[in-house]
Structure formats: C-alpha cells, structure tokens
Amino acid sequence: MGKPLIIVESPTKIKTLQKYVGKEYKVAASAGHIRDLPVKTLGIDVDDDFKAEYVNIKDKAKIISHLKKIAKDSNDIYLAPDPDREGEAIAFHVMDILKKKDRRFHRVLIHELTQKGIEDALKKPLEPDVNKYDAQQARRKLDRLVGYQISPLLWQKVQRGLSAGRVQSVAVKIICDREREIRQFVPEEYWTITADLMAQNPPSFNAALVKIGQKKAKITHEAQAKKIVTDLENAQFFVDEIKKKTIKRNPLPPFITSKLQQDAINRLRFSAKKTMVVAQQLYEGVDVGTDGPEGLITYMRTDSTRIAPEAAQEALELILQDFGKDYALTTPRHFKNKNKVQDAHEAIRPTSVFNTPKKLKPYLSDDQFKLYDLIWKRFVASQMSQAIIDQKAILIKAGQYLFSVSGSTVKFDGFMALYEIPETSPGNDIQSLPHVREKEELAREKIISKQHFTKPPPRFSEASLVKELEKNGIGRPSTYASIISVIQDKGYVELVKRYFVPSELGFIVNDLLVASFPHLLDVSFTAQMENNLDDVENGSLEEVDLLARFYEAFSQTLDNARQNMVSVKGVGVKTDLTCPSCGNPLNIKIGKNGHFLACTAYPDCTFTSNYTRDEKGNIAIVEKQVDNTPVKNCPQCGKPMVQKDGRFGLFLACTGYPECKYTESVMSENSHQDIGLNCMEPGCTGRIVEKKSKRGKIFYGCSQYPKCTFASWDKPVGKACPQCNSPFLVEKQTKREGKILKCPAPKCGYKEKQAL
C-alpha cells in the first residue's frame, strides 16, 4: 500500500506542507479548479433539476494526469483545498476524477499552514461537505444562467463582446446611481460663524456658533450672516458651561476579509486585488529562515472575528512582555460575530504573535511586510487594554448666541500605542484649550463669517465601494476583489484619481439592464440571494428549490427582454445636440474603438465627433483641432507635417496627402507615457508608450502607430528571453504565481518569479 496523498489547491503550498508532514505523505496540487461548465454552451439542463454538465478544464489536462499518476497506489486521499465553498467544489471534483474501489477520501480544513494547524487538520478529517458544495454549485449555476443568457442580448442590442454578471452588474448600478446623484445635485449656500477668543489663561482658541436662541444655527445667506456678526461685535462673551468626561475606547476586532481590504486600501494604497494576492502569499508560506516555508497568517477569506483561545493567550503574553502590565488584559477579549456570519474560520491573524514584523522583515518583500505589519498590529491591539481619553467641551454665550468648542486629550493610549484609530490618535486633538471657569468673561479678538456650499455625495473609492457592497450584502468578501477587477476590465467603470466613474458604455449597459431586469439588479434582491446561498450551505434550503424559484421569474423576464429591450446598435443613444453640419439630431454611437457622436442623417451626412461630459453630465462636441503650423518635415517625402485630430486622437499628417499618406501619433503627457524602451519590431525607430483604450484599459504600443502596429496588453520589459532569445519579456500578475516575467512567444513558456 502506498503513502497517503494530500491534495491542496495551490502549488505554492506544497513546500510548506511537505516541510511539516515529512516523508509520511505525498503532496500534490490541483492548481485551482480542474473542472467547470463548458465554455461554448450553457451547460445546465433547466428541465432536469438544473443538472450541470461538468467538463475537465482544457488547460488542466497535465495536472489531472499527474494527480491520477501520483494517486495510483494511495488508498487514502486527503482533500485539502482552501477551507471555503470554492475549495469544497475543488475537493468534490478531485474526488470525482480519482474515485476508485476501496479508496477513501478525507476532507481536511487547514486554517493555518503551521505544524499545529496541519497536524490538527489531519487528526480530525471530515466527510466532504455536500451542503457547502451545493451552495457553491448554486452560485455557479446562477451566475451562468444570468451571464450566458443576458450577455448575448447585449451583443444583439449594443455590441459584441459585452457581458452581464449577476453580482457585477449590481456593483456597476451602484456606481452609476451615485454618479447620477452627483450630476443632479444642486448646491445650497450656507454660512458659518466662528469667534477667535481669549480667556485669562492662554492659549487663545476658536469657537463655532451652534445655536441661535433655542434653535440650531442655520445661516443661509450673506445678509443674515452680516446681521449676526454685527450683533456679536456688540455682545459680551462669557463661559456658560464646561462639560468634561472621560471615555474608554475599545480596540477594533481582528481583521475580517472586507475590513482588511478597506484598511489596506486606505493605509497602504493597495488595491483590493493586490491585498488578496499578498495575503495569499502570507497564508501559503514564506521562507523565514526556518528550513522551509512557513504560513504566517491564518486563512484570509473569512467573515468571522472569532480567535482561538491559545492565540489570544499568546498575544497577552507578548503584550505583558513588550508593553507591560498596564497594557495587558487579565483575560482575553472576545468579539461577537454579526448575525448569519459563517464561523468556520477564525479572524485573520498572525499564526504566531512572536513572529513580530521586525523579526520577519529581512525575509519579506516590501508589500508582504506592510500587510503583515498591519495584520499583526491589528490582532495584537485587539488584546490590549482600553485607551482612556479626556474630552472637554466649552459652551460660550454671547447674547442669544451660543458657541461651542471641544477638545480631547489621550490620557492613556492603551491599544493605540500599537494601532491608532484615525479619529482618536494623539495627534488629532481638535485644539488645545485653556483652563477656564464658568461665567468667566472672554475677550473677543475676531468674528469670522464664511460662505460655503453643500457638496454632492462623493464618488466611490475602492475602499468605500467594498464598504458599500458589504453593507448591502452584495457578494461576499472573498469576491469583492474579483468584482472590482471585472467591472474595470469590461470597461464599465474607470478609476479616475482613485475614484470610480462610470464609462459611457457602463451607463448604456446599466440603463438597458435596469429597464429589462429591474428585479435582478435590485440591491435588496441580490442581498437576499446571498442569504439564500447561506441557507443552502447550512442545509435549510435545497439547491434545486433555490434555482427553480429564481429561474421561474428570471426566464419570463428574459423572454420579455428579448422582445422589448431597446437596441442601440447602429442607432445609438439620443442626445440633446444637433449636427453642426446639417441640423439633424446627434446620437452617441458605440464603435469598436469606443464612443463618439454621429449624425442621425447618415449616410446623407457623415459628421462624427469626439465629445466630453461636464460634472453635470452635459455633452459638448470636441472641436476638431487642425494646426497648420508645420511641425517637422515628413521622413518619407520631405514635405511639412501638420497636427490634426482624428478618431484616435491627435496625430501628425503629411501635407503631401494623398500622394504621401505618412502619419504618426502625437505623444502627450496625459495620453502616452514613454516607458523607457525602444520598439522591438525589426527596423522600427519608435518608442514603447503606455496608452489607454477607449474602454479605459491600459495597453502598450509603438509611438509610431499606425506605421508600426506593435501592441501588448502586458507591460514589456527590456530583458531578452534566455530560452528562445525573444528580445523582450512581459510583466504579468497572477493569483497563483504573483508577479512574474514571462516570454511573449506562444510556444516558449519561459517565466521567472519577481518580487511584488
């Protein structure tokens, strides 16, 4: 009988596992999913209880063959993909391809890749979880039923290549709705009044008007503000009341997935996707000088704030040792989970608090260190004593007017010595206040009135979008990063100065879907579907019942949409603009290179133009730029070249046209950024520049386009391939391998690992 075999999800875990299990087990990896629904067909029989037609993934043939070979003489297979729904599905599919008479399968849930975590999992193997598998199946089938049946509609009505997603489309709707709120927002004028005051003791301070008589101060115009200032210049200011209190602030719980993403975005400027990639590396194992890789954090996809008692106890020992008894608790602090949170995993924490960031820094990449430092500090701080903050508010009377000023001082920093919460950090005192007595008269130095205007709601940043998705129950924390990536990759939204803005395509697709599938794009409906999937996982709802209930309503809506969805293909979207050439209406049309204005009288009128939108969403024609000032001589015929504006932006054109058709693009700081490489095409003298497609996606091309058509989605690097002598490699980032350099030659396959 052969050795038992452990099958994990990620190949990078193999070394870490082998280090701890030694020669008693064989270890192999599935490299993610090995089976999926077919690519070219729906793959779900809606008339036969939604049975799925699963096929082996084409690119996984070698992996499947290897798994069969390595498992050949093993009677015990330990299925150890990640401890979540996706991992459960991988476990079931691996079990399907390796089923054999007398072979036993054991599900092991490894929450941390440490000796204890691995030993505990192997000592307590479980049966594969059918309910968890059914929940994953239900989600996969729902997404396929929606995506594969709505996307072809968009191809017919808008343009080929578009797609809709059950959850992603709701995320786009949230961003579009916010953008429309911003566009429709009408600012309102208001005024604030403050007084610079001085007591008998220094320092001077500034107080704000909060009440007029018994009502909250609301100043809406300048005349009202001027009258109040006049009144105050003749009034005596005195201290009416002093309010003092001491508050105790508790630390935040250890990270769950969504909060880790938000904190990493805000504090480290990581994206949600990058956060999860780096966290995966820390979980799977890093060589920290202990004879092989070691898992440094617990599983990073979790909704639970639960922590193991031994981990909390270990934190208390470190706190007592490094910070002293004033900062240490006598018993561990535990945090309650929200309702319906799945408690299968702990919160995200270091596998050992004695692996301090300082100790591990020499072994970690810069990004790994930053994220580990954040996770470590948040966890240790969660077991430290409360912070004690003194707060003081001074209420000041001046006739019928009441002013207020407040300040706070950190009396004892407690957990904030390690992990500061921004609004309570020691440096965040509002202002230093003097010692005053009630009824003490105050000297007035200056009365200041300021005009303001209310501001529209802010656009979503990546962090606030994650927070919004979490608040509304859209998706799950483990899916936020992929949701955000997909809606950008599809060109529906763009990240502009760290805030999401819907593209024209995003608005068009969103409006069509909302009109035809209002229920599907409803936030509360999508959130309820997540709850239903949780019910499938805990066994209180059958997968088939959930799918049947959903599909009965969806299929009727789908049939109606096929008949009634408005088509913008060829026709375009109406605008309020008229054609400057013939006076007919202009529509927004969508072409293979993006959006543009076109005359509805085509083909009689061929007017087209680029356009811009202002903050209110109003459209304006971009005037054609033609600069007849010679820029340089044409390298082909020697005649002067002038600047023109075309569908692809600014370009230089030879004045010898049509005899000479030579052109070259105009590089600008905003549109084309030189990345420091010469073009790799033989005989080309151009440079490689970073460009942006009409959908907002970054790509790399030659500065001499259209003369040279070199283009790459991946960033070229000036390093030759040592295997096939390709003149350059490209940068790629994958979940499984992290940041790598790869040869672009299709048949080469050379790649090398890079630090993030």
d(CA 156, CA 179): 27
CB neighbours of residue 195 within 10 Å: 24
186, 282, 285 from 362: Cα distances, Å: 54, 14, 15
d(CA 33, CA 52): 15
59, 377, 409, 513, 688 from 552: Cα distances, Å: 35, 50, 60, 18, 53
Alpha-carbon torsion 422, 427, 430, 436, what sign?
A: positive
Give the single-character DSSP code of 469.
H
Q: Are 435 and 442 in contact (CB under 8 A)?
A: no
d(CA 349, CA 310): 12
Q: Are 679 and 710 in contact (CB under 8 A)?
A: yes
d(CA 682, CA 91): 49
Token representation of residue 620: 């304006």
Q: Are 409 and 390 in contact (CB under 8 A)?
A: yes
Token representation of residue 653: 């054109």
Which residues contact residue 369 at a Cβ distance below 8 angstroms, ignoring those fewer than 6 apart?
A: 357, 360, 361
Maximum alpha-carbon separation in the chain: 99
310, 355, 361, 362, 546 from 286: Cα distances, Å: 23, 12, 12, 12, 42
Find, among 92, 94, 89, the residue nearest to 136 by Cα: 89
d(CA 702, CA 709): 7
Q: Are 72 and 2 in contact (CB under 8 A)?
A: yes
The neighbouring-strand residues paired with 608 are 598
**Residue 136 Rama label (left phi>0; alpha psi -120 to 50; beta):** alpha
Catalytic annotation present for 750: no
DSSP string, 682-707: TT---EEEEEE-TTS-EEEEETTTTT
CB neighbours of residue 752 within 10 Å: 12
Find, among 532, 552, 553, 554, the residue nearest to 543 by Cα: 532
Q: Are 198 and 441 in contact (CB under 8 A)?
A: no
CB neighbours of residue 61 within 10 Å: 11
7-11, Cβ contacts within 8 angstroms, sequence gap of 24 or more? 7/67, 7/71, 7/77, 7/78, 7/79, 7/80, 7/81, 7/94, 8/80, 8/81, 8/110, 9/80, 9/81, 9/82, 9/87, 9/90, 10/280, 10/284, 10/736, 11/736
Strands 104-107 and 76-80: parallel
SS3 284: helix
Which residue do the tokens 């000023």 mark? 405
DSSP string, 398-452: ETTEEEEEEEEEEEE-GGGGTS--GGG-GGG-S-------TT-EEEEEEEEEEEE
Q: Which of 299, 372, 419, 480 is catalytic?
A: 299
Catalytic positions: 299
